[in-house]
Structure 1
Amino acid sequence: MPVLAKKILTWLFVGFLVFFIAFRPDGAADLVETIGGLLMAIAQGIGDFLTRLMA
């Protein structure tokens, strides 16, 4: 992918994020909370796996 296309897509993504946060703050907060919960569940699963692996 050419560099210019990557720059354009990056700026479009940033613009979408700003728009989403500005006009749908509740939806943006819910999305961040969901992603955070998913990441925490993944980290917990990896931690449990490593704990059981070492036992």
Structure 2
Amino acid sequence: MIKKVLTWLGIAFLIFFIAFNPDSAADVFQSLGSTIGDIAEGFGAFFTNLVA
């Protein structure tokens, strides 16, 4: 029950954040995407060096 309520509150906050601060929301998502890309690149380099 609590998990469902927290999930809906998180979704509502996300919609609110995007609707009222679109520039800030775009910056946050761009930063998250960049971080995930950097992590993936690091894993790729690690496995490349591990095999080579």
TM-based fold match above 0.5: yes
Any idea what the Cα deviations from partners look like across 1:2-40, whole Å, max 9, x if unmatched? xx1111111110100000000000011000000000000
- Give the whole-Å Cα distance in 1 for the aligned partners of 2:51 and 2:5: 47
SS in 1 for 2:9: helix
Report whether the alignment pairs 1:17 with 2:14: yes
Structure 1 consecutive aligned stretches of length 4 or more whose deviation exceeds 4 Å: none
Query: How many pairs align?
Result: 52
- Give the whole-Å Cα distance in 1 for the aligned partners of 2:45 and 2:21: 36
Compute the TM-score of the two structures, normalised by the length of structure 2.
0.95
Structure number with greater CO (CA < 8 Å, separation at least 6) is 2
Q: Which runs of 5+ in 2 are unaligned?
A: none
Residue in structure 1 matched with residue 48 of structure 2 by the alignment: 51
Residue in structure 2 matched with residue 7 of structure 1 by the alignment: 4
Q: Which runs of 5+ in 1 are unaligned?
A: none
